[in-house]
Amino acid sequence: MPRARTRRRARGGTCAHSSVLGPARQAWICRRRTVPELRLWRSIRCLRKVPQRSAKLPPRHPTPANSDTSTMPPDSDPTRVVLVGATGRMGGTAAGWIEAAEDLVLVARPGSGDDLARSLSRSEAQVGLDLTVAGLGAAHGQAMLAAGIRPVIGTSGVTPKEIEDLDRRAREAGLGGLVVPNFSLGIWLLQRASVEAAACFAHSEIMEMHSPHKQDSPSGTALDTARRMEAVGPKVPIHSLRLAGLHSDQEVIFGGPGEILRISHRVSSPECFEAGLLCSLRYAVGALGVGSGLDLAMESSGRAPGSGLASHDLGPNIS
């Protein structure tokens, strides 16, 4: 019986496969093999090949017939949001939160060089979120109302008089909105606790601490906290500190005979603003008039004040 050709051997008489194969398999490959053995070897190699799935086969998980968004009921359409200040640090983060929410859709992001009034009118948005710099919130809120958009202003520096003007104009147009100096749930709870304590202590002061990059001083959060406390107690002094290494801290200190009460809040990540921001956008959709403070959005989320608030009460995609 004719013999098949032997495989090429490396220098020194060793097999070329000796560096990668075991001794037993190396000896079988390197010896002289018959033609039937070669045919058997090729057949085994063909059987080891994994067959490719045909392109004509249907997918394993076909798309349901009711998955088309065109068949969704009108009341499930997401709320259209325009974000003013998306190029900033906070604005860029908030844009990601809005895009991840199932009931919200980001339709426009006008920049600082764009014509704001024109961008707002073209956006066809229902709610507008302002996250620019201190002092621009009131003007941007008026521009949103002029375009038929409900404003949610998260920028510091909006005065009580400006909030009254926004509220009056919004009610005349049948719209609503919200001015929120701070979207943090922790600050919301701090303010509620501080109001309770202000009714019991005759002396209190606020210390707010931020990085040197914060332009306004005192902060809008500290001013809002002081206004709430002064509604039930005496005037509250505010101390501001701008120091490298700080992010966003606030402490309310109460003094009484023989005791000191401190209520403090520290921000370690912008994630603490997500729940309050999304809840404020959802609140503005059905609001009439422009109010101030995160408590309006929190109280409308399904829980009465004082009964506690869980993250699942604030809407979808909040955890």
| 250/207 Cα distance (integer angstroms) | 6
Q: Which residues partner with 266 through β-bridges?
A: 249
Task: Please tell me the predicted confidence (pLDDT) of residue 318.
Answer: 38
Task: Please tell me the predicted confidence (pLDDT) of residue 11.
Answer: 46
User: Which structure tokens are listed for 298?
Assistant: 């929190």
The 10s digit of each residue's pLDDT in 73-100 is 445 699 999 999 999 889 999 999 999 9
The 10s digit of each residue's pLDDT in 117-167 is 999 999 999 999 999 988 899 999 999 999 999 999 999 889 999 999 999
Sorted by sequence, the CB contacts under 8 Å of residue 5 that are 6+ apart come out as: none
The 10s digit of each residue's pLDDT in 286-311 is 999 999 999 999 988 764 344 344 43
Q: In what order do the strands lie in the sheet with 203-210?
A: 238-242, 203-210, 248-256, 259-266
Q: Sorting pLDDT into bands at 50, 70 and 90, what band is 113? A: confident
| 218/211 Cα distance (integer angstroms) | 12
| 159/258 Cα distance (integer angstroms) | 37
The mean predicted confidence, pLDDT, of the chain is 81
Catalytic residue among 214, 235, 239, 265: 214
Token pair 């406390």: residue: 229
The 10s digit of each residue's pLDDT in 67-78 is 333 333 445 699
Residue 132: phi, psi to the nearest 5? -100, -130
The 10s digit of each residue's pLDDT in 15-26 is 444 445 556 555
Question: Does residue 116 sit in helix, strand or coil?
Answer: helix
Does the pLDDT of residue 3 top 90, yes or no? no
Running DSSP on this structure, what letter comes out for residue 66? G
Report the pLDDT averaged over residues 62-67. Answer: 35
Report the pLDDT averaged over residues 248-275. Answer: 96
Whether 106 contacts 125, CB under 8 Å: no
Catalytic residue among 140, 161, 203, 210: 210
Q: What is the DSSP string of 246-312?
A: --EEEEEEEEETTEEEEEEEE---GGGGHHHHHHHHHHHHH--EEEESHHHHHHTTT--TTS---GG
Least confident of 25-39, 96-110, 220-234: 25-39
Give, in order, the Cα–Cα distances in Å from 288 to each of 28, 78, 269, 304, 313.
87, 20, 32, 20, 22
Q: In the chain, what are the domains?
A: 1-41 (no CATH), 78-182+274-314 (3.40.50.720), 185-266 (3.30.360.10)
Question: Does residue 30 sit in helix, strand or coil?
Answer: helix
User: Which structure tokens are listed for 151?
Assistant: 């404003």
214 is catalytic: yes
Q: Sorting pLDDT into bands at 50, 70 and 90, what band is 61? A: very low
Least confident of 9-13, 270-274, 277-281: 9-13
Whether 215 contacts 134, CB under 8 Å: yes
